[in-house]
Amino acid sequence: MNITEKILAKAAGKKEVVPGEIIDANIDLAMSHDGTSPPTIDKFNQVAKKVWDPEKIVLVFDHNFPANKLGSAEFQKVTRNFSKEQSIKNIYMHGEGICHQILPEKGFIEPGKVIVGADSHTCTYGAFGAFATGLGATDLALVYATGKTWFMVPESIKVDVEGEFQENVFSKDLILNIISTIGADGANYNAIEYCGETIDDMFVSERMTMTNMSVEMGAKNGIMEPNKFTLDFLKNRGCSKFEIQNSDEDAIYSKEFNFDITDMEPQIACPHDVDNVKPITDVEGTHIDQVFIGSCTNGRFNDLKEAARVFEGNKVHEDVRVVIIPSSSEVYSKALDAGFISTFIKANAMVCSPGCGPCLGGHMGVIGEGEVALSTSNRNFKGRMGDPDSEIYLSNPAIAAKSAITGEISNIY
């Protein structure tokens, strides 16, 4: 079996599982945020009175926090009341950051676990060798009530990556390139397993960017076997009681893709689909009105470090607005200590409190009709960040910073 099948087999109490098999799985951790908790709570109240285990539920305020309108405030009030009623202590409602960043930071994510969340980018946790996937409110409500859910065991796609990144090329460029190759629906309900020397050498933040965007190919989950950086991260977060699952040498995959990144240049996802990816040389000179650096894809410390390197001693173009949002308060604090925040402010960029911000078009930095945004987030769907007649391009943080300075999509030479 491969790593995904082994994790699901254990969760179902079986010796083995095969793709297409329907299983009932025990859940190790469940999560919802300020946008998805109230619908989940509403469904939960229709079927149960007590959650199965308050220690295994995490609630996070990140999508519209601090509340920007009455609806957001009411949603957060409902969630706070639920946490008190159900004795859920793992609630993060003080601006700690984006759920997909703070759950690993707080030591909730471990290899070999089955983790579900009412957010499509829950697949991020596959970077730690866990099976992690998003659920709808009704399914998650039943998890909150029973600690179980059903899965159809997915077929698995193996993605092998070799080679070294060129300067100013990062894992964001790699995952965009992979998405363009496999397609936005090329991995529907498949597990994507990333491997190869390039993956083995990646830092945790780079690996999280990869698994985070697995869902942009329709994948049920993205997953990697933990490397030395992952194990060091887990140790520093107090995680020690876990069982790592590794794919067998004769594991079966429905498809296999091989990538060599040696000559890959920065990649840009163009409107209005994440798989509409072009090398930066094809889109250089495209006018932009706003740059967003942040999100659960590229708002981590190393991302801000690359952006600060480019912004140092420069100013944002007079026609461009720049919104920078650290993915967590821990990242914000480290960036502050490192001098990055000062660099951003001196460059005339706006630094906002940790959260999702303009990524979903709901909070801080919404773009208007006819405007063009360059974002480090994970989606560029029509109207995603504001007006339906706006356009969104996706890039890595260094390219986003350089483009903010020039006023147009620009490479770094």
- Co-location of 79 and 162 in the same domain: yes
Q: How many CB atoms lie within 10 A of CB 54?
A: 14
Average pLDDT over residues 257-267: 96
Helix (H) or strand (E) holding 392: strand 391-394
The residue-averaged pLDDT of 240-255 equals 93
Q: Is the peptide bond before 121 cis (omega within 30 degrees of 0)?
A: no
Q: How confident is the model at residue 303 (pLDDT cuts 50, 70, 90)?
A: very high
Residue 265 lies in a domain: no
Q: Of 259, 288, 323, which residue is a domain's last?
A: 259
356 confidence band (pLDDT: 50, 70, 90): confident
Task: Give the DSSP per-residue string, 129-153.
Answer: T-EEEE--HHHHHHHHHHSEEEEEP
Does 287 share its domain with 154?
A: no
What pLDDT score does 385 carry?
87
For residue 253, give the 3-state DSSP assignment: coil
Amino acid identity for residue 27 in this structure: I
For residues 122 and 181, what is the distance between their CA atoms, to the nearest angstrom?
Answer: 23
CA distance 405 to 235: 39
Is 264 among the domain residues? no
The pair of structure tokens assigned to 19 is 């793709």
The mean pLDDT value for 240-252 works out to: 92
| Claim to verify: residue 156 and residue 236 sit in the same structural domain | yes
pLDDT in tens, 73-112: 999 999 999 999 999 999 999 999 999 999 999 999 999 9
- Within a domain: residue 400? yes
pLDDT over 90 at 64, yes or no? no
Averaged pLDDT of the chain: 96
CB–CB of 210/297 below 8 Å? no
User: Residue 50: its pLDDT value, please?
Assistant: 97
Using CA of residue 395, residue 230, residue 149, residue 92, what is the dihedral sign? negative
Does 393 map to a domain? yes
Q: What percent of the chain has pLDDT over 70?
A: 100
Q: At what angle do helices 228-236 and 204-212 cross, to 10 degrees?
A: 100
d(CA 18, CA 252): 10
Q: How do residues 368-402 score in pLDDT, each as one tens digit?
A: 999 999 999 999 988 888 889 999 999 999 999 99
Q: Per residue in 151-163, pLDDT tens?
A: 999 999 999 999 9
The domain boundary, picked from 226, 259, 292, lies at 259
> What is residue 294's predicted lDDT score, i.e. its pLDDT?
95
Residue 327 pLDDT: 96
110 is a domain residue: yes
Write phi, then psi, for 399 (nearest 5 degrees): -65, -40
Higher pLDDT: 72 or 180? It is: 180
Q: 29 and 139: one domain?
A: yes
Q: Are residues 376 and 284 in the same domain?
A: yes
Could you list the residue range(s) of the whole structural domain that residue 360 is in?
Answer: 270-406
For residues 1-12, average pLDDT = 97
Condensed to tens digits (0 to 9), the pLDDT of residues 188-244 reads 999 999 999 999 999 999 999 999 999 999 999 999 999 999 999 999 998 988 999
Q: Is 343 contained in some domain?
A: yes
Q: Give the confidence band of 68 by pLDDT, cuts at 50, 70, 90.
A: confident
- Per-residue pLDDT tens for 132-148? 999 999 999 999 999 99
Residue 173 lies in a domain: yes
Cα–Cα distance, 256 to 378 (Å, whole number): 24
- Which pLDDT value is given to residue 76? 93
**Among candidates 287, 294, 402, which has minimal Cα distance to 358?**
294
Residue in the block written with tokens 């830092």: 203
Q: Read out DSSP for 177-240?
A: HHHHHH-TTTTTT-EEEEESHHHHT--HHHHHHHHHGGGGGT-SEEE----HHHHHHHHHTT--
**In a 3-state reduction of DSSP, which class is residue 7?**
helix
What per-residue confidence (pLDDT) applies to 69? 86
Per-residue model confidence (pLDDT) at position 77? 95
Q: Is the pLDDT of residue 67 over 90?
A: no
247 within some domain: no
What is the biggest distance separating any 2 CA atoms in the chain, rounded to whole angstroms?
62
State how many domains the chain has: 2
Q: Is the pLDDT of residue 359 over 90?
A: no
What is the CATH classification number for the domain harbouring 374?
Answer: 3.30.499.10
